[in-house]
Amino acid sequence: MHNSGTYAICEIMYNAKAFAALTETSPLAAFNFQRRDPGAHDVQIQILYCGICHTDVHIARNEWKGTTYPCVPGHEIVGRVVKVGAHVKKFKEGDLAGVGCMVDSCRTCENCKQDLEQFCSVGPTFTYNAPDKVSGGLTYGGYSNSVVVDEAFTLQIPKHLNLAATAPLLCAGITTYSPLRHYQVGKGQKVGVVGLGGLGHMGVKLAKAFGAHVVVFTTSANKVPDARRLGADEVVLSTNLDEMKKQANTFHFILDTVAAQHDINAYLALLKRDGTLSQVGVPAEPLSVHVSSLIFGRKNFTGSLIGGIKETQEMLNFCGENNIVSDIEIIPIQKINEAYDRLVKSDVKYRFVIDMASLE
């Protein structure tokens, strides 16, 4: 595998269309820029669909600070290969292809060598708003009509899956798949999923496909029917303290997808001895953990970040074999700002996906 750090700054470019955030307060708007022409190891993809992740909203609005403008978000990309470099082996013109949260890494550190590029010691190159080692400037994401990515960070998409509904697997899918796989969730285990949003609904589908007994925790009574439709064996309203107490010390694993402030100790109390709670939602403020919640029962409170490229491909293949995709609402790019406002209010079941044909 070649080392991307040896690239010279690319000079051959082509025009691309996109929607971008130009400031932290301005609505996303039409934006033209230049993409690099594919190098020897690159794949050029015509983007057909791009999912909208809550991270896109945070970064576009500079809520996590550090956003550089103009910013073209989007890291749940599915499209068709229109051009390949001379040394590309995995893809040919006409193939379906996907791009997730990363487009490069150092490839030489211990983590990269173990297929954990998301934990690259140097730092992975994220799909947007990251320094672009190849072209210079910043990476621009999937709210665009095309993208050029090294084949080593390009993913193969199962042909028979609904393409629009597959796009969110590139972030929401792998974010939930990775911890479930890492902690070997499977048959005979009781697994909790906290929150039923873009991440949570994927957690339910995947945990069920792994053979676990799945319990959804939600604060919204109106989500109970949906949780059952998605595969939950039980649904618990987390505001009902009696129901919560009945679940104490019974879970092997809990996946917490909630990105708002909440009482994490209430869920740690539900774990069996040596059980694990993995946090994938990212609240803006620190969560307060009582040490006693951990030491009584030798319980584990951990976190997880997307997945490496190898594991992301494994997830896509698993979803292909089990016919798993996201529940989505398709929008034209012109409704992106309305979609952001609705996403903040959790007014979507369960992931927005942009039909990029609307950009033309």
What is this structure's pTM? Answer: 0.94
What phi-psi label fits residue 58: left (phi over 0), alpha (psi between -120 and 50 degrees) or beta?
alpha
DSSP string, 72-116: -----EEEEEEEE-TT--S--TT-EEEE-SEEE--S-SHHHHTT-
For the chain, the domains span: 4-171+326-359, 172-303
In 3-state terms, what secondary structure has residue 179?
helix
Listing DSSP states for 217-253 in one string gives EES-GGGHHHHHHHT-SEEEETT-HHHHHHTTT-EEE
Contacts of 2 (CB under 8 A, 6+ apart): 41
| Buried residues in 168-198 as b, exposed as e (16+ CB within 10 A) | bbbbbbbbbbbbbbebebeeebbbbbbbbbb
Architecture of domain 172-303: 3-Layer(aba) Sandwich (3.40)
pLDDT at site 273: 98
Q: Tell me: the pLDDT tens digits for 132-183?
A: 999 889 999 999 999 999 999 999 999 999 999 999 999 999 999 999 999 9
* Residue in the block written with tokens 């990251």: 130
| Residues lower than pLDDT 70 in the chain | 1-11
- Residue 233, CB-side half-sphere exposure with 13 Å CA sphere: 12
Rounded to the nearest 5 degrees, what angle is found at the Cα of 154, between the Cα atoms of 149 and 155?
A: 160
Provide the pLDDT for residue 11: 58
Q: Do domains 4-171+326-359 and 172-303 have the same CATH topology?
A: no
Give the chain's largest Cα–Cα span: 64
CA distance 168 to 202: 9
Q: Which residues of 34-57 are buried (b: 16+ CB within 10 A; e: fewer)?
A: ebbbbbebbbbbebbbbbbbbbbb
Structure tokens at 226: 């949906």
What homologous superfamily is domain 4-171+326-359 in, according to CATH? Medium-chain alcohol dehydrogenases, catalytic domain (3.90.180.10)
Q: What's the CA gap between 68 and 61, in Å, rounded?
A: 11
- Non-local CB neighbours of 198 within 8 Å, separated by 6+ positions: 53, 54, 168, 172, 326, 348, 350, 351
Find residue 332's DSSP bridge partners: 355
Report the pLDDT value the prediction gives residue 284, as an integer from 0 to 100: 80
d(CA 49, CA 244): 40
Q: Which of 289, 21, 291, 12 is nearest to 140 (CA)?
A: 21
pLDDT score recorded for residue 119: 98
d(CA 181, CA 240): 30
Selection from 53, 98, 59 nearest residue 257 by Cα: 53
Peptide bond into 350 cis (omega under 30): yes
Neighbouring residues of 56: CB distance < 8 A, sequence distance ≥ 6? 73, 74, 75, 141, 340
